[in-house]
Structure 1
Amino acid sequence: MTESAKPLAGVKVVEFGTLIAGPFCSRILAEFGAEVIKIEAPGEGDPLRKWRKLYPTGDGETSLWWFVQARNKQSVTLNLKHPEGIAIARKLVAEADIVVENFRPGVMEKLGLGWDPLSAINPGLVMVRLSGFGQTGPMASQPGFGAIGESMGGLRYVTGFPDRPPVKTGISIGDSIAALWGALGALMALRHREVHGGKGQVVDVALYEAVFAMMESLVPEFDVFGFIRERTGNVMPGITPSNTHTTRDGKHLIIGANGDAIFRRLMLAIGRVDLADDPQLGSNAGRDARAAEIYGVIDAWVGANDAETVLRIAAEAQVPSSPIYSVADMFRDPQFLARQMLEVAQLPDGKDFRIPGVIPKLSLTPGETRWLGPALGEHTETVLDRLGYSPDEIVRLRGDGAI
């Protein structure tokens, strides 16, 4: 597929962001053909370059996460504390469709890169602003990471077991959810610009709101019934049966039989015709009222069999079930492999390694990995040359500390 055939071909993005939310937002756009120029501080770059597991490269060590998070992006170093660095940033924004930033509200304004000056030089600009609490409200100026968004947004409160403190998920889910909302908002704003006269707008994403938006029936249940959803471990009251069970050989499996017909099929498959034919258990409400009994039956059946047997019987009965995968399990799973969810890429020294595949799967214009996260400032000279800077000017700017 040619570059021009990609769904976001021709869309230009300037990213002022570090770590997770902003960079993940622009990564999504880059995977589907947008030209993303990532602005990084000279000599430092995005801190994510040094997070978690590091791999030796020509300039020291680089995070394996970085290679994925910054794939398909161009790295340009600009000193945003230097007037000429700001001047270059403004030139880039003048020709951009989207700016993505995840600084604390007010930082871009102090740099002269807030919405008003940028929209003045580029009226069609879409500016995606990701922050802990949004651009307005009494907490707007406070720092807020994904963990805070998960806590205030309600996710942490309902995660874990009732007799223990709340727990986090194993990844920075709040940042990633906010990034998805940011990318979606950017595309909606581009669509509006296309249809309604070319005017850009701000996409204001608060991390706590991004999480809050995923919280299902939390709000109406409290407002109408005064009901506060609490931590319930691996079960969710009101949706029965769906739970984690442990097999005879010590494997943990998920079985979700909370559909009426699915529940009946499971009971028949495990030899409990009495429960399959019980009229009270033919609806979710009836099953939920007898949840302890049902989970006891399923626990006993699963515990008497090994994982392979449980999964085979469940599959034959068309009951949703799965082992709880580690990443090692994913590397062996035929479904992951068939859908190219483990792409082969090359590290800077040529060594093959696996990276996550691109989603969603578009049938005509799929996303792809064109290159991995670049070296710091790898594209600075190329981009400045395109903006009209001569080689001598580039040397001067570097010597002055502007790039």
Structure 2
Amino acid sequence: MNSLTDALASFARTAGPLKGVTILDLTRVVAGPYCAMLLADMGATVIKIENPADPDLTREFPPLNRNSDEPVSGFFAQFNRNKMAVGLDLKKAEGKATFLDMVRKADIVIENFRPGTMAKLGLGYEVLREVNPAIVFTAISGFGQYGPNSLRPAFDSSAQASGGLWSMNGTLEEPMRVGTVLGDLSAALYAAIGTLGALREAERTGQGQLVDVSQQDSIVSLTENALVTYTETGKVTVPEGNGHPFVRPYGRYACKDGYVFFGAYTDKFWREACLTFGDEAMASDPEVDSMAKRFETDVYLRKVKPAVERWLGAHTKAELEAMTGDRFPLSPIKSIDEVVADPHLRERDMVVPVDCQGARFEVFGNPIKLSGGTLERGASAPAVGQHNASIYRQWLGLDEDEYAELVRLGVI
């Protein structure tokens, strides 16, 4: 692996399991930036490369902090913390040459363009491996690098629709997309896993490889048992609303000030719930004393559901959370303001500050908790081209005239 020079020691990662790994991040929007950010949080030195005339468009996404000279995007800051940033126009010959010089010193390249874009630029995987056989080239796209649909443009919703998740979510009357960009986020997670696997192989053998992650593939893998249920039985999974296809009680129930998830469907949990709510008769009722009996539609609607609604409707979310503790699964359905205030999440550093161009935002932390720690607390996100001089002069080794020429040509 090639580490940054001593001149960059003030930024180069000094901790984390990926210390010494250098990543060239060509990505935009969510899937690619999130993948690279997760690796940066674990100690990799990530260099975000943007066209100086057309930087990552999420730099203009809300929410915007307007306390500095230019509006600063919290959306951008959240997915690009712990990165350096340089400008580089890959369409210009000088930009291509400079990028190849960077590839020679890097360990990983991550891109999320439409398949074929890097090859059209003359910078496809086959070209990069010629200059650095150990390079790991991670490509995230809507439909993958091969297959009849590979060239189709895609967004998150494209993946949710084509991967089957949209048809399973919501209600029978109105299937709904999941209310977050799960196609982007899941592809980012799989790409990070694949990248680490390929990096391990490159370290062992000196040979890199192409990591091909599709948003559609990622969504298909999140459809739980729907695929095997269809291939085995011919049954097509449809939306279950807030219920579950084969266990009850398990779902959303109303309480005094909102809703909770209640999932005491096993015999042990059911008995604990009955005792918690002072309903010992229900705990010993032979009509509902087994999981199979409670799932029967008639029994559930006639006895189980009314009992649960009676128990929960008498209390607030906070009261229910306090009453149930660790006895059986019950969770308030929290709005995002309640999530941000959750002391458990705060203790686990899942709400952390990040600085960006003079603005400070609170963003989500890293769900990967390592005993040696991750680096998201106190992180910052870069301005466009913020580290041009450090990367090109000190790391890449350009002299003053070479650097000035790239500036003059608008390459950086």
TM-score (norm 1): 0.93
Identify which range, 339-348 or 149-158, moves more after superposition.
339-348
Partner of 2:80: 70
- 1:382-397 alignment, distance < 5 Å: 382-385=390-393, 386-397=395-406
RMSD: 2.0
The separation in 2 between residues aligned to 1:56 and 1:220, in whole angstroms, is: 50
Residues 247 and 143 of structure 1, relative CA distance in 2, 3 Å threshold: same
Q: Is 2:352 aligned against 1:343?
A: yes
How far residue 381 of structure 1 moved from its aligned partner, in angstroms, is 1.6
- 1:340-379 alignment, distance < 5 Å: 340-346=349-355, 348-349=357-358, 353-369=361-377, 371-379=379-387
**Counterpart code for 1:181:** Y
**Counterpart code for 2:276:** A
Residues 203 and 148 of structure 1, relative CA distance in 2, 3 Å threshold: same
1:164-201 CA-to-partner distances (Å, cap 9, x unmatched) read x2212222111000000000001111122233x22111
Partner of 1:400: 409
The separation in 2 between residues aligned to 1:331 and 1:141, in whole angstroms, is: 39
Q: Do the aligned partners of 1:51 and 1:65 also contact (CA within 8 Å) in 2? A: yes
**Counterpart code for 2:217:** E
Q: Is 2:258 aligned against 1:251?
A: yes
The separation in 2 between residues aligned to 1:9 and 1:284, in whole angstroms, is: 50
1:19-76 CA-to-partner distances (Å, cap 9, x unmatched) read 0111111010001110111110113310010112112265621211111211111111
How far residue 85 of structure 1 moved from its aligned partner, in angstroms, is 0.7
- 1:109-120 alignment, distance < 5 Å: 109-120=119-130
1:249-285 CA-to-partner distances (Å, cap 9, x unmatched) read x311111212321111112222333432245645433
Partner of 2:64: 54
Please, which of 180, 192, 202 is the counterpart of residue 193 of structure 1? Answer: 202
Partner of 2:157: 147
How far residue 9 of structure 1 moved from its aligned partner, in angstroms, is 0.3
**Counterpart code for 1:376:** V
- 1:86-165 alignment, distance < 5 Å: 86-163=96-173, 165=174
The separation in 2 between residues aligned to 1:367 and 1:342, in whole angstroms, is: 13
Residues 47 and 153 of structure 1, relative CA distance in 2, 3 Å threshold: same
Q: Do the aligned partners of 1:158 and 1:229 also contact (CA within 8 Å) in 2? A: yes
The separation in 2 between residues aligned to 1:129 and 1:352, in whole angstroms, is: 31
1:197-230 CA-to-partner distances (Å, cap 9, x unmatched) read 2211111101010111111111111111111111
The separation in 2 between residues aligned to 1:288 and 1:83, in whole angstroms, is: 66
Partner of 1:45: 55
How far residue 379 of structure 1 moved from its aligned partner, in angstroms, is 0.7
Helix, strand or coil: the match of 2:166?
coil
**Counterpart code for 1:343:** V
The separation in 1 between residues aligned to 2:97 and 2:315, in whole angstroms, is: 68
Identify which range, 22-31 or 299-308, moves more after superposition.
299-308
Q: Is 2:16 aligned against 1:16?
A: no
Q: Do the aligned partners of 2:353 and 2:377 also contact (CA within 8 Å) in 1? A: no
How far residue 370 of structure 1 moved from its aligned partner, in angstroms, is 5.4
Q: Do the aligned partners of 1:31 and 1:369 also contact (CA within 8 Å) in 2? A: no
How far residue 144 of structure 1 moved from its aligned partner, in angstroms, is 1.2
Q: How many residues align?
A: 397
Helix, strand or coil: the match of 2:328?
coil
**Counterpart code for 1:325:** K
Q: Do the aligned partners of 1:71 and 1:373 also contact (CA within 8 Å) in 2? A: yes
Please, which of 233, 248, 260 is the counterpart of residue 225 of structure 1? Answer: 233
The separation in 2 between residues aligned to 1:265 and 1:301, in whole angstroms, is: 13
State the identity as a percent: 34
Helix, strand or coil: the match of 2:71?
strand
The separation in 1 between residues aligned to 2:39 and 2:290, in whole angstroms, is: 43
**Counterpart code for 1:101:** E
Please, which of 176, 194, 202 is the counterpart of residue 167 of structure 1? Answer: 176
Q: Do the aligned partners of 1:130 and 1:182 also contact (CA within 8 Å) in 2? A: yes
The separation in 2 between residues aligned to 1:273 and 1:371, in whole angstroms, is: 53
How far residue 111 of structure 1 moved from its aligned partner, in angstroms, is 0.4
**Please, which runs of 5 or more residues in structure 2 have no aligned partner?**
1-11
**Please, which runs of 5 or more residues in structure 1 have no aligned partner?**
none
Partner of 2:4: none
The separation in 1 between residues aligned to 2:164 and 2:330, in whole angstroms, is: 28
Residues 199 and 348 of structure 1, relative CA distance in 2, 3 Å threshold: closer
How far residue 145 of structure 1 moved from its aligned partner, in angstroms, is 1.1
